[in-house]
Amino acid sequence: MNLYSLLQARAAEGKPVRAGLIGAGKFGSMFLSQVPTTPGLEVAVIADLDPERARHACRAVGWEEERIAATIFVEDGRDLCARDVDVVIDATGSPQAGVIHALTAIDNGKHIVMVNVEADVLAGPALAARARKAGIVYSMAYGDQPALVAEMVDWARAAGFRVQAAGKGTKYLPAYHQVTPDDVWTHYGLTPEAARAAGMNSQMFNSFLDGTKSAIEMAAIANACELDVPEDGLLFPPCGVDDLAHVLRPREAGGQLQGDGMVEVVSSLERDGRPVFRDLRWGVYVVLEAPNDYAAACFRQYGLPVDSTGRYAAMYKPFHLIGLELGISVLSAALRGEPTGQSRVFRGDAVAVAKRDLEPGEMLDGEGGYTVWGKLLPARRSLAMKALPIGLAHGVKLVRPIPAGQAITFDDIEPPPDSPALQLRREAEAMI
């Protein structure tokens, strides 16, 4: 509650918090837009494969030329990690790059804010453990849904409530699992030409639609909050905010969850495509269970949406502001030494599933592409299956035919080359 006061003190001392941003895409640009109006915070270094594009992003969000001239622009994120910054932000979206940047930041004693949820789900528990051992902060990114959910779960538990469910909303229909970058824009109400003019990446946006991003984000929440994962993937039940406590309670209590304390995503569409009343497409939620009759009575007295028994209640946040809120994570790490959510266990995994029948010799193209989508599974089950993580399902060749809808395993592909990402993945697996 005193983060701004701490920031004011740093500003008064003339010692601003210095951040380094890797990746000046949409998320990074949203963060950059807030920096000029956050006294005491500065972005000292920006790394992007195209530094001139990064400078253009700064201008597009309103930076003055004087600020741009005072900022160092580099091509390599590893270079940035060795510079004079307090906090390294990875906003690349590449799991391989994210792991490398996190390891380099740890080696250089820099706090890490991992916007790159793909990297976090692939190896986050291992990266967080290494960071803790080095005495630095490894953090989820506030503004993104996993960190916002982690905050709500932490609040609920600290207040003495049992968390029965936690997650987010999205637009979902079962057919979306087969959508490819070629037809994604029709589902967003855009033409391909309009999307290109806006600089929108079809594969990235497709990962939000085909279920992959939901699987990744729910795995991150499960790993940060020690919540359980549906045995055979997310259910995506249609549900509005008034029905969260009714739908997202255990089956034995009349709900749709397999058990207690689980992650789940609710759809803003009914299965026939009709919009859900008072949907939570852009928001996050937590479902609480009252520990006693007195607390249950208070739920009703203070207007919480409850189920028919009154023992389950929902709290929700209808919107999230992505990169506009990222500064909270940066300042929390630098000023308080605390993460805004952190993967601590390996409960959930996002694995690659064939979008269509695949043949030997085909190359997988990863998240949001033409060949695979990401499905959430319990980590213990994915390891028993030897399932291929979606974060490693890019640029690898199949050696066996895979029917549509089947999870791909390490036995189905040529052995992937050794890499820091694969090594850290093995460290995370050993933590189960």
DSSP 293-350: HHHHHHHHHTT--B-TTSSEEEEEES---GGGGTHHHHHIIIII---SS---S--EEE
Which range among 131-145, 188-202, 373-387, 393-407 shows the weakest confidence by mean pLDDT? 188-202
In this structure, which amino acid lies at residue 153? Answer: V
Q: How far from 193 is each of 60, 182, 183, 185, 190, CA to CA, in Å?
A: 21, 12, 12, 10, 8
Residue at which a domain ends, from 289, 306, 336: 336
Mean of pLDDT values over 335-357: 98
pLDDT of residue 194: 84
Lowest mean pLDDT among 61-65, 199-203, 254-258: 199-203
Which residues are CB-contacts of 236 (< 8 A; sequence separation ≥ 6)? 170, 172, 211, 214, 265, 266, 267
Domain that holds residue 277: 146-172+211-320
Whether 132 and 153 map to the same domain: the answer is no
* 218 plus 314 within the same structural domain: yes
| 432 has a pLDDT exceeding 90 | no
Are 153 and 293 members of one domain? yes
pLDDT in tens, 275-314: 999 999 999 999 999 999 999 999 999 999 999 999 999 9
Contact by Cβ (8 Å): 95, 367: no
How many domains, in total, are found in the chain? 3
Whether 198 is covered by a domain: the verdict is no
Residue-wise pLDDT for 214-252, tens only, equals: 999 999 999 999 999 999 999 999 999 999 999 999 999
pLDDT exceeds 70 at position 198: no
Question: Is the confidence at residue 195, as pLDDT, over 90?
Answer: no
Mean pLDDT of the chain: 96
Do residues 140 and 128 touch, judged by C-beta distance below 8 A?
no
Q: Are residues 312 and 364 in the same domain?
A: no
Mark whether 378 and 362 lie in a shared domain: yes
Domain-located, residue 341: no
Query: Which helix (H) or strand (E) covers residue 267, if one does?
Result: strand 262-267
Last residue of a domain, one of 336, 366, 390: 336
We report the CATH number of the domain holding residue 398 as 3.90.1210.10
Query: Which tokens belong to 283?
Result: 């928001």
Q: Is residue 248 a contact partner of residue 313, using CB atoms and an 8 Å limit? A: no
Examine residue 196 and state whether it is found in any structural domain, yes or no.
Answer: no
Are 112 and 277 spatial neighbours (Cβ–Cβ below 8 Å)? no
Q: Percent of the chain having pLDDT more than 70? A: 100
Q: Is 100 part of a structural domain of the chain? A: yes
Residue 426: both structure tokens together: 């093995």
Beta pairing class for 111-114 and 138-140: parallel
- Residue 193 has a pLDDT of 86
Summarised one tens digit per residue, pLDDT across range 10-41 is 999 999 999 999 999 999 999 999 999 999 99
pLDDT digits (tens, 9 = 90+) for 148-180: 999 999 999 999 999 999 999 999 999 999 999
Determine the pLDDT at residue 189.
86
Q: Is the pLDDT of residue 90 over 70?
A: yes
Asked whether residue 134 falls in the same domain as residue 153, the answer is: no
Q: What span, in angstroms and rounded, lies between the C-alpha atoms of 367 and 409?
A: 16
Radius of gyration of the chain (CA): 21
DSSP letter assigned to residue 166:
E
Single out the residue of 376, 372, 375 nearest to residue 356, CA to CA: 372
In a domain, residue 311? The reply is: yes
pLDDT value for 190? 87
Give the model confidence (pLDDT) of 94-148 as tens digits: 999 999 999 999 999 999 999 999 999 999 999 999 999 999 999 999 999 999 9
Give residue 199's pLDDT band: very low, low, confident or very high (50, 70, 90). Answer: low
Assess if residue 261 is contained within a domain.
yes
CATH number at residue 40: 3.40.50.720
3-class SS of residue 287: strand
Range with the lowest mean pLDDT among 17-26, 191-200, 375-384, 404-413? 191-200
354 and 332 together in one domain: no
State how beta strands 162-170 and 262-267 pair. Answer: parallel
Same domain (yes/no): 305, 367? no
pLDDT of residue 240: 98
Same domain, 129 and 161: no
